[in-house]
Amino acid sequence: MSPIREVIYKNKTNINPIWIMRQAGRYLPEFREIRKKNPDFIKLCLNKKLSSEITLQPLKRFELDAAIIFSDILMLPYGLGQKVEFKKDFGPLLGELNLNEISKLNEVDFVKNIYEVYESLKLVSNNEMVKNKDTIGFVGAPWTLLVYMINRQSPKLKLVDNFFDDEIMIRETLNILDKFLKIHIKYQVDNGAQIIQIFDSWAGLLKEKDFYKYIYNPTSSLVEFTKSLNVPVICFPRGIKDYKNYCEIIKPSTICIDYDVDPLIIRKEIKIPVQGGLDPKILLTDKEIIKKEAKRYLDIFKDHPYIFNLGHGVLPETEPDKMDYLVKMVKDY
């Protein structure tokens, strides 16, 4: 069994597996070369040859314990037929949400729209480089996808004023998301994903009184489904404060924490395996600080099942040798 699944299933505390969110991507010169020739991000995600190559790039450089498929959570609305494009220096821009059209969509058409993602996963999982490592697939959580689909762009500043007005639209969109996220998870697992991570990037936008409706109930449904496929599921509810409640209600196999959370509180309150936490900005400093901060997490979780990761994705300006230093340091701990 791979080191990550040993931590998840056997609660091993004497090993320190490591993988990094956004480990494949914009900080690597070899990725930037490919990106220069392939400016359309969606087309790049749907190019099985290139996306599988990008997925494996960090494994050629660093002693990581997993490959995470190079894709995007917005492949889901794209697969549903909503227009999705990525504008340089702006981020994702989505077209009008047409519920009439989307509710007519069937599994066959959805899968056809994004089939290359699954083909890419198959190529990665069959590659010699991931022997004794894990292949990780992922989805966006229903709430986060709902935000993008209705807001039609990143809510970095705020949600559109009338976001919650159309209750029927919200309810129907969540139902559609539940159905197609399960299809998306199943196809990833069938094509080689051994772990699924659910990214709830905008969980921090909600007030706690709305958690059941938008986070707890919809995410629990996905977690249960993924576990029924005999695959562990890691949840990353970025920006929430009450991880204890989240874990008790949703019951993920592992909880991924962000960098605003006090790891000492997590260590005290959370019984299941923990992943992540280190601020990605630490990788922009010097090796002494990287060592000190990484060691702090490793020390806190030394008697708790723990998967080393950052508290968010690698920043584009990160130098690959700093990443190399971090990986070696964790491995030597």
pTM above 0.85, yes or no: yes
Residue whose C-alpha is closest to residue 320's, from 75, 10, 27: 27
What does the pLDDT read at residue 266? 98
Domain boundaries, position 135 = 3-332
What does the pLDDT read at residue 159? 83
What does the pLDDT read at residue 160? 82
Calpha distance 71→24 (Å, rounded): 10
- CB contact set of 263 (below 8 Å; sequence gap of 6+): 257, 277, 296, 297, 300, 301
Token duo for residue 61: 């450089």
**For the chain, what is the domain count?**
1
Do residues 257 and 243 lie in contact, with contact meaning Cβ atoms separated by under 8 Å? yes
What does the pLDDT read at residue 157? 63
Token duo for residue 119: 């083909």
Task: Identify the CATH number of the domain in which residue 123 sits.
Answer: 3.20.20.210
Q: What is the pLDDT along the chain (333 residues), one digit of tens a residue?
A: 999 999 999 999 999 999 999 999 999 999 999 999 999 999 999 999 999 999 999 999 999 999 999 999 999 999 999 999 998 878 899 999 999 999 999 999 999 999 999 999 999 999 999 999 999 999 999 999 999 999 998 888 678 888 899 999 999 999 999 999 999 999 999 999 999 999 999 999 999 999 999 999 999 999 999 999 999 999 999 999 999 999 999 999 999 999 999 999 999 999 999 999 999 999 999 999 999 999 999 999 999 999 999 999 999 999 999 999 999 999 999
Alpha helices in 24-159 (DSSP H): 29-37, 41-45, 48-61, 75-79, 99-104, 107-113, 115-125, 142-151
What does the pLDDT read at residue 88? 82
